[in-house]
């Protein structure tokens, strides 16, 4: 479904409410990389919402699959 790295982003943003800047610091990557991952997550899970809302929805979709 989504990669382990993308799942980390979903957890940090969707569950914990982290900012893009915090996610980039925690994962040691550039903020544009985080935005790129978010876009791919939205596309892969077919979520057509604003990025932050999409990460909350993605979190519940992924937890539901676990």
pLDDT tens digits, residue range 21-65? Answer: 999 999 999 999 999 999 999 999 999 999 999 999 999 999 876
CATH class of the region 4-65: mainly alpha
Which residues are CB-contacts of 52 (< 8 A; sequence separation ≥ 6)?
A: 13
d(CA 65, CA 53): 19
**Measured CA distances, 29 to 54, 63, 66 (Å):** 21, 25, 27
Region for 28 from its dihedrals, namely left if φ exceeds 0, alpha if ψ lies in -120 to 50, beta otherwise: left
**Radius of gyration (Cα) for the chain, nearest Å?**
11
* Predicted pLDDT of residue 6: 96
pTM: 0.90
Contact 9, 41 (CB under 8 A): yes
């Amino acid at each position: 479904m989504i990669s382990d790295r993308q799942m980390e982003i979903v957890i940090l943003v969707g569950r914990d409410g982290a900012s893009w800047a915090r996610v980039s610091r925690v994962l040691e990557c550039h903020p544009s990389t985080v935005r790129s991952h978010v876009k791919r997550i939205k596309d892969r899970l077919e979520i057509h919402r604003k990025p932050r809302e999409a990460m909350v929805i993605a979190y519940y979709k992924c937890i539901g699959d676990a």
